[in-house]
Amino acid sequence: MTLTRRNGRLGGLALALTCSLALSACGGDSSDDEATGPLKELGKTEGQVSILAWPGYVEDGSNDPNADWVSSFEEKTGCKVTSKVYGTSDEAFNLAKSGDYDVVAASGDLTLRMVAAKAAAEVNTDLVPNYEKVFDFLKDQEWNTVDGKNYGVPHGYGANLLMYNSDVVKPAPTSWDVVFDKASEHKGKVTAYDSPIYIADAAMYLMATQPDLGIENPYALDEDQLAAAVDLLKAQRGHVGEYWSDYLKEAQAFKTGDSVVGTTWQVIANTIDQDNVKVTVPEEGVTGWNDTWMISSKSKNPNCAYAWLNHIEDPEINAQATQYFGESPNSQEACDFAEPGFCESYHAGDEAYSDKIWYWRTPIEDCLDGRTDVTCTDYSDWTKAWTEIKG
Amino acid sequence: MTAPSTPVVAAPSGAATRRASSFLATRPRVRLGLLLAAPLTWLVLVYVVALAALLVTALWSVDSFTGEIDRSLTLDNLREITTESLYRTVTLRTLGVALLVTVIDVVVALPIAFYMAKVASPRARRLLVVAVLTPLWASYLVKAFAWRSMLSEGGLVDWVLNPFGASTPGYGLTAVVLTQAYIWLPYVILPIYAGMERVPDSLLEAAGDLGASSGRTVRTVVMPLVLPAVLAGSIFSFSLTLGDYISVNIVGGANQMLGNLVYTNVGAANNLPLAAAIALVPIVIMLGYLAAVRRTGALDNL
């Protein structure tokens, strides 16, 4: 009898103990959450860092002997760099969530998703000395700062341009209508970027050609506006030879003449390097990107990650990297290191020009243009629309 | 039975083995169970559990902004792929490509296999087998990209066809069918060749002696005997094409097949549950195909 009673009491005690243990564990967790802020100070570098970036952002000279800003970083910090390139922000999002990458170069249609998914860590910009040199109009923007907390440092910005083969596309196009309303002239040789975000290009074209739709921001589309953009893209689909997300695939298609007109990045035109392949900024404007170097919330090499952020923010390095990719650098000092005329041609530091580029954003239900009377279509709606467009 | 003279202490392990074997000898079910345990575990874990996981995943959903998976069960994905016209169109397109590839492969493979098995000298036969197998040494991607450059504007196909007033079909479904038919051809030739080898020469001679024409011999003697092999080969080309997405990406132009929808939903849209639901479509088609093949009795003769 006594034995059983004691056992029972012991059992109760054990239960209570487990509870309190569990509780304290819980308490510990929540206090950890509150304490999670940016890194306060840097320690010893870990010896390696893995980077996920757009093609042309992390070059060690193996693609082009003149483009190498990884070797100097490795020598200076002792952090061995491994890098992976991606073709679309969606691809990057999945890769970044795996936690295998310490540093991610993210465009504006990715950064907020990274923050929302808790895949990005808050960045203490004091630990990135070169940050102070960055153009002010790139700092604390809605795509790199949430609730006053910085989630990364700016890299550079640029536009999605119109590329065409001047042997075939005559006269030289000045409007996006060559890939939309007049796409039939180059049936089967039109190309477009293979990502739902390309819907914004169609919406931007509609802003100019169909003002009665009332589109104010190509990333804030209500259902009717999205439907109009989808119709335009479905009509375009009949003339598209192939969509591209791999930049080398587009480069090859333009070289052989399988594609003659379509959206592109400056770096692709540079890769092709043929006199008859030209790029232009059409009159309707352009969509573009404004990229941010982020640190993964699961990074095991935060010190090397910060070291990389500082390295790539260095005006000389930033000038090399942005010049290689064909985009505007992030600081005035970088322009001093760039080739003469480079910053002028990319309008670096020209805030008014930068304001005219529709930087990639993640479409969300709360309309980005400030409308409150309608619900906007979010990125999952865009993704669904995109598979339908491709059919 | 243990002989009484055997010292039990001297050979304990021998005794244990013997006891085990006599235990098993009287229990055929246990014997069978032990024999099948390893392969069945493998089969169940790798195939059945994976399929079940796929089915369950298809019933989940995804939070569109954060990309987190919501594990409450819903039929939305299945409803979407059965009601939306997009999935019907893509399924039909994929089926069409798979059937066309299979037909082309069988038509090309039959004469080659017949020649290899019945006409060629043993030396030539060995060389032909090597020739059929050689393309398998090159990677799939290399072959698909080779077709991309051959089919491009001003490429090899263009150069060959231009004198006849034709030009390259360009990137599109035709290119996909060509590429797939080329890549899967060895997988169709080999089973048909094996089937042809099993057709006794005496039957062909008897048909000839009885006055049957070559066409009639092929129709009434060879074909019925190699049909199981043809169907086996067709399972390869059909199922492999059904799930392919890489060559469509490389030479398919703007077209999508079922595999591409799975790929974009995993890679771009980050919608694993919808991808799982789409992946069920080719599985259902394959089950139907295998059931149809089974009705012909072809599987019994493999």
At residue A175, the pLDDT reads 94
**Closest by alpha carbon to A126, among A313, A296, A279, A273?**
A313
Q: How confident is the model at residue B257 (pLDDT cuts 50, 70, 90)?
A: very high
Per-residue pLDDT for A314 more than 90? yes
At residue B64, the pLDDT reads 64
Task: Note whether B267 contacts A113, CB cutoff 8 Å.
Answer: no
CB-based contact (8 Å) between A234 and chain B?
no
Per-residue pLDDT for A63 more than 90? no
Q: How confident is the model at residue A226 (pLDDT cuts 50, 70, 90)?
A: very high
- Cα separation of B19 and B9, whole Å? 14
Query: Mean per-residue pLDDT for A302-325?
Result: 92
H, E, C per residue of B169-226: CCCCHHHHHHHHHHHHHHHHHHHHHHHHHCCCHHHHHHHHHCCCCHHHHHHHHHHHHH
Per-residue pLDDT for A8 more than 70? no
DSSP-derived letter for residue A246 is S
Task: Note whether A93 contacts B270, CB cutoff 8 Å.
Answer: yes
Distance of CA B93 to the CA centre of its chain: 18
CB-based contact (8 Å) between B254 and chain A?
yes
Residue found under tokens 């483009």: A67
- Cα separation of A311 and A81, whole Å? 12
Task: State the count of interchain CB pairs (< 8 A) between A and B.
Answer: 81
Per-residue pLDDT for A29 more than 50? no
Task: Summarize pLDDT for B15-37 with one digit per residue, the tens.
Answer: 888 888 888 888 888 888 888 88
At residue A340, the pLDDT reads 86
Q: Which is more confident, A365 or A10?
A: A365
Domain B85-301 fold is MetI-like fold (1.10.3720)
**Closest by alpha carbon to A92, among A197, A191, A162?**
A197
* Parallel, antiparallel or unpaired: strands B69-70 and B61-62: antiparallel
DSSP-derived letter for residue A239 is T
In chain B, which among 176-205 make CB contacts under 8 A with chain A? none
Domains within chain A, CATH numbers bracketed: 48-157+289-359 (3.40.190.10), 161-285+363-390 (3.40.190.10)
Q: Which is more confident, A4 or A131?
A: A131
Does a cis peptide bond (omega within 30 degrees of 0) precede residue B163?
no
Length of chain A: 391
Rounded to 10 degrees, the C-alpha dihedral B238/B244/B249/B250 comes to -70
Q: How confident is the model at residue A32 (pLDDT cuts 50, 70, 90)?
A: very low
- Cα separation of A114 and B209, whole Å? 78
Tokens of A363: 């479409």
Query: Mean per-residue pLDDT for B110-123?
Result: 94
Per-residue pLDDT for B73 more than 50? yes
Query: Mean per-residue pLDDT for B141-167?
Result: 91
Per-residue pLDDT for A37 more than 90? no
**Closest by alpha carbon to B98, among B219, B247, B198?**
B247
DSSP-derived letter for residue B8 is T
Q: How confident is the model at residue B302 (pLDDT cuts 50, 70, 90)?
A: low
Tokens of B202: 């005496």
- Cα separation of A326 and A335, whole Å? 13
CB A373 within 8 Å of CB A222: no
CB-based contact (8 Å) between B167 and chain A?
no
Tokens of A277: 């392949």
Query: Mean per-residue pLDDT for B87-115?
Result: 96
Tokens of A65: 């002997």
- Cα separation of B93 and B259, whole Å? 12
Query: Mean per-residue pLDDT for A234-261?
Result: 92
Q: Which is more confident, A52 or B170?
A: A52
Task: Note whether B65 contacts A258, CB cutoff 8 Å.
Answer: no
Query: Mean per-residue pLDDT for A269-290?
Result: 89
Cα-based angle B41, B47, B49 (whole degrees, multiple of 5): 80
Cα-based angle B169, B173, B178 (whole degrees, multiple of 5): 70
Q: Mean pLDDT of all residues in chain B?
A: 88
Query: Mean per-residue pLDDT for B59-68?
Result: 76
Task: Note whether A390 contacts B271, CB cutoff 8 Å.
Answer: no
At residue A131, the pLDDT reads 93
Per-residue pLDDT for A45 more than 90? no
Query: Mean per-residue pLDDT for A323-329?
Result: 88
- Cα separation of B155 and B273, whole Å? 41
Distance from CA of B117 to the nearest CA of A (A): 43
B contacts of A237 (beta carbons < 8 Å): 254
H, E, C per residue of B24-84: HHCCHHHHHHHHHHHHHHHHHHHHHHHHHHHHHHHCCEECCCCCCEECCCCCHHHHHHHHC
B contacts of A388 (beta carbons < 8 Å): 84, 86
A contacts of B274 (beta carbons < 8 Å): none
Most confident range, picked from A38-47, A280-289, B49-58, B184-193: B184-193
The share of chain A scoring above pLDDT 70, in percent, equals 91
At residue B14, the pLDDT reads 78
Distance from CA of B269 to the nearest CA of A (A): 6
**Closest by alpha carbon to A241, among B255, B166, B97, B89?**
B255
**Sheet strands (E) in chain A:** 48-53, 80-85, 103-106, 120-121, 145-146, 149-150, 153-159, 161-165, 190-193, 240-244, 261-264, 277-280, 287-296, 358-359
- Cα separation of A278 and A300, whole Å? 44
- Cα separation of A313 and B66, whole Å? 29
Per-residue pLDDT for A123 more than 70? yes
Q: Indicate the domain borders of chain B.
A: 1-52, 85-301
Q: Mean pLDDT of all residues in chain A?
A: 85
What residue type is assigned to position B194 of the chain? Answer: A
Per-residue pLDDT for A1 more than 80? no
CB-based contact (8 Å) between A46 and chain B?
no
**Closest alpha carbon within chain B to A89:** B268
Task: Summarize pLDDT for A138-189 with one digit per residue, the tens.
Answer: 988 888 898 889 999 999 988 899 999 999 998 999 999 999 999 999 999 9
The Cα-based distances of B95 to A52, B83, B98, B243 in angstroms read 37, 18, 5, 10
Query: Mean per-residue pLDDT for A354-361?
Result: 86
At residue B71, the pLDDT reads 85
What residue type is assigned to position A341 of the chain? Answer: G
In chain B, which among 73-92 make CB contacts under 8 A with chain A? 84, 86, 89-90
Q: How confident is the model at residue B142 (pLDDT cuts 50, 70, 90)?
A: very high
Per-residue pLDDT for A322 more than 50? yes
Query: Mean per-residue pLDDT for B141-169?
Result: 90
What residue type is assigned to position B29 of the chain? Answer: R
Q: How confident is the model at residue B13 (pLDDT cuts 50, 70, 90)?
A: low
CB A352 within 8 Å of CB A358: no
Tell me how many helices (H) and strands (E) chain A has: 14, 14
